[in-house]
Amino acid sequence: MEDLLKIFILGIIQGITEFLPISSHSHLIIFERFLNFNNNNEVINLAFHLGSLLSVLVFFSKELLALVQNRNIIINLIIGTIPVVIIGFIFHYFGLIKILSNPLIIGSTTILFAFLLFFADKKDQNNTIELNLNMKDSLIIGLYQTIALIPGVSRSGITITAARFLNYTRYDAAKFSFLLSIPTTGAACFLGVLDIIKIGSAELTLNAFVAFLSSFIFALITLKLFMGFLQKFSFNVFVYYRVIFGIFIFIYFI
Protein backbone atom coordinates (compact mmCIF):
# COMPACT_ATOMS: atom_id res chain seq x y z
CA MET A 1 0.00 0.00 0.00
CA GLU A 2 2.89 2.36 0.75
CA ASP A 3 4.41 1.70 -2.69
CA LEU A 4 1.01 2.29 -4.30
CA LEU A 5 0.77 5.72 -2.65
CA LYS A 6 4.28 6.60 -3.82
CA ILE A 7 3.45 5.53 -7.38
CA PHE A 8 0.30 7.64 -7.26
CA ILE A 9 2.35 10.66 -6.15
CA LEU A 10 4.89 10.03 -8.89
CA GLY A 11 2.06 9.70 -11.42
CA ILE A 12 0.77 13.12 -10.37
CA ILE A 13 4.28 14.57 -10.72
CA GLN A 14 4.70 12.95 -14.15
CA GLY A 15 1.34 14.27 -15.31
CA ILE A 16 1.89 17.82 -14.09
CA THR A 17 5.49 18.20 -15.23
CA GLU A 18 5.41 16.32 -18.56
CA PHE A 19 4.15 19.28 -20.60
CA LEU A 20 5.43 22.15 -18.48
CA PRO A 21 8.91 23.45 -19.41
CA ILE A 22 10.45 22.14 -16.17
CA SER A 23 11.50 18.52 -17.00
CA SER A 24 9.33 15.62 -15.86
CA HIS A 25 12.32 13.26 -15.97
CA SER A 26 14.32 15.29 -13.46
CA HIS A 27 11.32 15.63 -11.15
CA LEU A 28 10.72 11.89 -11.18
CA ILE A 29 14.38 11.17 -10.46
CA ILE A 30 14.52 13.68 -7.60
CA PHE A 31 11.17 12.71 -6.07
CA GLU A 32 12.00 9.01 -6.27
CA ARG A 33 15.03 9.77 -4.12
CA PHE A 34 13.00 12.03 -1.86
CA LEU A 35 10.34 9.31 -1.38
CA ASN A 36 13.03 6.64 -1.01
CA PHE A 37 11.40 4.72 -3.86
CA ASN A 38 13.70 2.93 -6.29
CA ASN A 39 11.52 2.45 -9.35
CA ASN A 40 13.16 -0.14 -11.59
CA ASN A 41 9.85 -1.49 -12.86
CA GLU A 42 9.76 -1.06 -16.65
CA VAL A 43 6.00 -1.65 -16.77
CA ILE A 44 5.36 1.23 -14.36
CA ASN A 45 7.73 3.51 -16.28
CA LEU A 46 5.88 2.62 -19.47
CA ALA A 47 2.54 3.28 -17.76
CA PHE A 48 3.68 6.79 -16.77
CA HIS A 49 4.54 7.60 -20.38
CA LEU A 50 1.44 5.98 -21.83
CA GLY A 51 -0.71 8.09 -19.52
CA SER A 52 0.95 11.27 -20.72
CA LEU A 53 0.72 10.14 -24.35
CA LEU A 54 -3.00 9.43 -24.08
CA SER A 55 -3.62 12.83 -22.48
CA VAL A 56 -2.12 14.75 -25.41
CA LEU A 57 -4.00 12.53 -27.88
CA VAL A 58 -7.26 13.33 -26.11
CA PHE A 59 -6.54 17.04 -25.69
CA PHE A 60 -5.56 17.56 -29.34
CA SER A 61 -8.02 15.03 -30.77
CA LYS A 62 -9.71 17.59 -33.05
CA GLU A 63 -6.37 18.92 -34.31
CA LEU A 64 -5.11 15.40 -34.94
CA LEU A 65 -8.18 14.54 -36.99
CA ALA A 66 -7.66 17.73 -39.00
CA LEU A 67 -4.03 16.73 -39.68
CA VAL A 68 -5.31 14.22 -42.21
CA GLN A 69 -5.89 17.19 -44.50
CA ASN A 70 -2.72 19.06 -43.54
CA ARG A 71 0.25 17.30 -45.09
CA ASN A 72 2.57 20.19 -44.21
CA ILE A 73 2.27 19.73 -40.44
CA ILE A 74 2.50 15.92 -40.74
CA ILE A 75 5.71 16.18 -42.76
CA ASN A 76 7.15 18.71 -40.32
CA LEU A 77 6.29 16.52 -37.34
CA ILE A 78 8.13 13.63 -38.99
CA ILE A 79 11.16 15.81 -39.71
CA GLY A 80 11.15 17.15 -36.16
CA THR A 81 11.03 13.63 -34.73
CA ILE A 82 13.82 11.99 -36.76
CA PRO A 83 16.79 13.51 -34.82
CA VAL A 84 15.55 12.44 -31.38
CA VAL A 85 14.71 8.94 -32.61
CA ILE A 86 18.26 8.46 -33.90
CA ILE A 87 20.08 10.07 -30.98
CA GLY A 88 17.60 8.63 -28.49
CA PHE A 89 18.27 5.10 -29.71
CA ILE A 90 22.01 5.67 -29.24
CA PHE A 91 21.45 7.02 -25.71
CA HIS A 92 19.17 4.09 -24.91
CA TYR A 93 21.51 1.46 -26.35
CA PHE A 94 24.52 2.67 -24.36
CA GLY A 95 22.52 3.48 -21.21
CA LEU A 96 23.66 7.12 -21.30
CA ILE A 97 20.46 8.52 -19.76
CA LYS A 98 20.99 6.52 -16.56
CA ILE A 99 24.65 7.53 -16.49
CA LEU A 100 23.69 11.21 -16.78
CA SER A 101 20.88 10.96 -14.20
CA ASN A 102 22.72 12.44 -11.23
CA PRO A 103 21.84 15.52 -9.17
CA LEU A 104 24.87 17.56 -10.32
CA ILE A 105 23.89 17.31 -13.97
CA ILE A 106 20.17 17.72 -13.29
CA GLY A 107 20.69 20.79 -11.11
CA SER A 108 23.01 22.38 -13.67
CA THR A 109 20.79 21.78 -16.70
CA THR A 110 17.69 22.87 -14.79
CA ILE A 111 19.22 26.30 -14.14
CA LEU A 112 21.13 26.69 -17.42
CA PHE A 113 18.15 26.04 -19.67
CA ALA A 114 15.94 28.26 -17.53
CA PHE A 115 18.03 31.22 -18.69
CA LEU A 116 17.88 30.02 -22.29
CA LEU A 117 14.07 29.95 -22.10
CA PHE A 118 14.09 33.42 -20.52
CA PHE A 119 16.06 34.97 -23.38
CA ALA A 120 14.03 33.15 -26.03
CA ASP A 121 10.81 34.51 -24.51
CA LYS A 122 11.88 38.14 -24.19
CA LYS A 123 10.49 39.54 -27.45
CA ASP A 124 7.06 39.36 -29.05
CA GLN A 125 6.76 36.92 -31.95
CA ASN A 126 3.88 36.31 -34.29
CA ASN A 127 4.71 33.23 -36.41
CA THR A 128 2.13 30.44 -36.34
CA ILE A 129 2.54 26.78 -37.23
CA GLU A 130 -0.40 26.96 -39.67
CA LEU A 131 1.13 29.81 -41.71
CA ASN A 132 4.88 29.78 -41.09
CA LEU A 133 6.01 26.26 -40.17
CA ASN A 134 8.57 24.87 -42.61
CA MET A 135 10.99 21.95 -42.83
CA LYS A 136 14.01 24.03 -41.80
CA ASP A 137 12.32 25.23 -38.60
CA SER A 138 11.06 21.73 -37.82
CA LEU A 139 14.54 20.28 -38.21
CA ILE A 140 16.03 22.95 -35.95
CA ILE A 141 13.37 22.32 -33.29
CA GLY A 142 13.97 18.58 -33.69
CA LEU A 143 17.71 19.02 -33.17
CA TYR A 144 17.05 21.09 -30.06
CA GLN A 145 14.80 18.30 -28.83
CA THR A 146 17.71 15.86 -28.75
CA ILE A 147 19.30 17.97 -26.01
CA ALA A 148 16.37 16.97 -23.78
CA LEU A 149 17.81 13.45 -23.61
CA ILE A 150 20.05 14.96 -20.93
CA PRO A 151 18.07 14.88 -17.66
CA GLY A 152 16.94 18.27 -16.42
CA VAL A 153 16.74 19.96 -19.82
CA SER A 154 12.98 19.35 -20.40
CA ARG A 155 11.68 18.17 -23.78
CA SER A 156 8.83 20.65 -23.83
CA GLY A 157 11.07 23.40 -22.47
CA ILE A 158 13.79 23.06 -25.09
CA THR A 159 11.39 22.68 -28.03
CA ILE A 160 9.37 25.69 -26.89
CA THR A 161 12.64 27.61 -26.49
CA ALA A 162 13.70 26.69 -30.02
CA ALA A 163 10.31 27.69 -31.45
CA ARG A 164 10.42 31.01 -29.60
CA PHE A 165 13.90 31.72 -31.00
CA LEU A 166 12.36 31.02 -34.42
CA ASN A 167 9.71 33.70 -33.76
CA TYR A 168 6.67 31.51 -33.07
CA THR A 169 4.02 32.74 -30.65
CA ARG A 170 3.96 31.25 -27.16
CA TYR A 171 0.77 29.35 -27.89
CA ASP A 172 1.98 27.93 -31.20
CA ALA A 173 5.42 27.11 -29.82
CA ALA A 174 3.75 25.07 -27.08
CA LYS A 175 1.24 23.52 -29.48
CA PHE A 176 3.93 22.29 -31.87
CA SER A 177 5.98 21.06 -28.92
CA PHE A 178 3.04 19.00 -27.65
CA LEU A 179 2.16 17.64 -31.09
CA LEU A 180 5.82 16.71 -31.46
CA SER A 181 5.61 14.85 -28.15
CA ILE A 182 3.22 12.31 -29.71
CA PRO A 183 5.69 10.55 -32.04
CA THR A 184 8.55 11.21 -29.62
CA THR A 185 6.78 9.71 -26.61
CA GLY A 186 5.44 6.96 -28.86
CA ALA A 187 9.02 6.06 -29.81
CA ALA A 188 10.04 6.08 -26.12
CA CYS A 189 7.11 3.79 -25.30
CA PHE A 190 8.17 1.46 -28.11
CA LEU A 191 11.65 1.21 -26.57
CA GLY A 192 9.98 0.56 -23.22
CA VAL A 193 7.99 -2.31 -24.72
CA LEU A 194 11.19 -3.78 -26.17
CA ASP A 195 12.82 -3.60 -22.73
CA ILE A 196 9.84 -5.38 -21.17
CA ILE A 197 9.97 -8.10 -23.83
CA LYS A 198 13.71 -8.46 -23.28
CA ILE A 199 13.25 -8.82 -19.54
CA GLY A 200 10.31 -11.14 -20.07
CA SER A 201 8.08 -9.41 -17.55
CA ALA A 202 4.85 -7.72 -18.65
CA GLU A 203 2.62 -8.21 -15.64
CA LEU A 204 -0.19 -5.64 -15.50
CA THR A 205 -0.52 -4.84 -11.82
CA LEU A 206 -2.62 -2.41 -9.80
CA ASN A 207 0.52 -0.28 -9.42
CA ALA A 208 0.86 0.02 -13.20
CA PHE A 209 -2.81 0.96 -13.56
CA VAL A 210 -2.50 3.65 -10.87
CA ALA A 211 0.66 4.97 -12.57
CA PHE A 212 -1.15 5.20 -15.91
CA LEU A 213 -4.38 6.72 -14.58
CA SER A 214 -2.77 9.34 -12.33
CA SER A 215 -0.36 10.39 -15.10
CA PHE A 216 -3.19 10.63 -17.66
CA ILE A 217 -5.62 12.63 -15.49
CA PHE A 218 -3.12 15.18 -14.22
CA ALA A 219 -1.42 15.59 -17.61
CA LEU A 220 -4.80 16.31 -19.21
CA ILE A 221 -5.67 18.88 -16.54
CA THR A 222 -2.24 20.49 -16.88
CA LEU A 223 -2.52 20.72 -20.67
CA LYS A 224 -5.85 22.53 -20.41
CA LEU A 225 -4.64 25.00 -17.79
CA PHE A 226 -1.25 25.57 -19.41
CA MET A 227 -2.60 26.36 -22.88
CA GLY A 228 -5.03 28.83 -21.30
CA PHE A 229 -2.19 30.33 -19.25
CA LEU A 230 -0.14 31.00 -22.39
CA GLN A 231 -2.88 33.18 -23.82
CA LYS A 232 -2.19 35.77 -21.11
CA PHE A 233 1.24 35.25 -19.55
CA SER A 234 4.92 34.70 -20.37
CA PHE A 235 7.15 31.77 -19.36
CA ASN A 236 8.83 33.79 -16.59
CA VAL A 237 7.17 31.88 -13.75
CA PHE A 238 8.70 28.65 -15.09
CA VAL A 239 12.08 30.30 -15.43
CA TYR A 240 11.97 31.35 -11.77
CA TYR A 241 10.74 27.91 -10.72
CA ARG A 242 13.56 26.16 -12.58
CA VAL A 243 16.21 28.33 -10.93
CA ILE A 244 14.73 27.70 -7.46
CA PHE A 245 14.33 23.98 -8.14
CA GLY A 246 17.91 23.74 -9.45
CA ILE A 247 19.27 25.46 -6.33
CA PHE A 248 17.17 23.10 -4.17
CA ILE A 249 18.72 20.12 -5.95
CA PHE A 250 22.23 21.38 -5.25
CA ILE A 251 21.49 22.07 -1.57
CA TYR A 252 19.47 18.94 -0.79
CA PHE A 253 21.06 16.21 -2.93
CA ILE A 254 24.68 17.23 -3.43
The better pLDDT of the pair 205, 158 is held by: 158
Q: Inform me whether the pLDDT recorded for 236 exceeds 60.
A: yes
SS (H, E, C) 148-196: CCCCCCCHHHHHHHHHHHCCECHHHHHHHHHHHHHHHHHHHHHHHHHHH
- 110 touches 152 (CB < 8 A): yes
Over the stretch 118-161, which tens digit does the pLDDT of each residue have? Answer: 999 997 789 999 999 999 999 999 999 999 999 999 999 999 99
Minimal CA–CA distance to 156: which of 193, 123, 184? 184
Over the stretch 48-102, which tens digit does the pLDDT of each residue have? Answer: 999 999 999 999 999 898 887 788 899 999 999 999 999 999 998 899 998 999 9
206/228 Cα distance (integer angstroms): 33
207/42 Cα distance (integer angstroms): 12
Q: Can you state the angle between helices 42-59 and 170-199, rounded to 10 degrees?
A: 150
